[in-house]
Amino acid sequence: MVPGAVLRGVTLDCADPQTLAGFYGALTGMRELFSTSEFVALTNGSGCDLGFQRVDGYRAPQWPGQDVPQQFHLDFRADDLDAMEELALELGAAKPDHQPGDGRWRVLLDPAGHPFCLTSS
């Protein structure tokens, strides 16, 4: 029998873990689980936490270009896309001009430049 791995969390590289954790905490309602100057973890009790680690010389991914690849991005479901986009922008996200798809999702960039999507499905 092959053991099953359970996703415990996702960690994003960034220049300032506290700032990026503050952004995602406000966006998602997750609370701080652990914090140092080098790493911050957020949790909502689901068993899958969101971490932010300081990387010296951090370079933000490029969207949609791949000069600095995004490697992966986060997707968040929102009941009201317009309201969630507005909140994200108020919290410091940016909305790039390039918006693929048919309007079922929106691509935004967090304050460290990571692309993430808001979706209604």
Helix, strand, coil percentages in the chain from 3-state DSSP, rounded to 5: 20, 30, 50
Average pLDDT over the chain, rounded to an integer: 90
The pLDDT of residue 2: 62
The pLDDT of residue 5: 65
**Amino acid (one-letter) located at 114:** H
Q: What is the pLDDT of residues 47-61, one digit of tens each?
A: 899 999 999 999 999
The CA-based dihedral angle spanning residues 88, 89, 91, 93, taken in that order and rounded to the nearest 10 degrees: 90
The CA-based dihedral angle spanning residues 86, 24, 101, 73, taken in that order and rounded to the nearest 10 degrees: 160
The pLDDT of residue 1: 61
Count of CA atoms in the C-beta half-sphere (13 A) of 61 = 18
The mean per-residue pLDDT over the stretch 39-45 comes to 96
The pLDDT of residue 73: 83
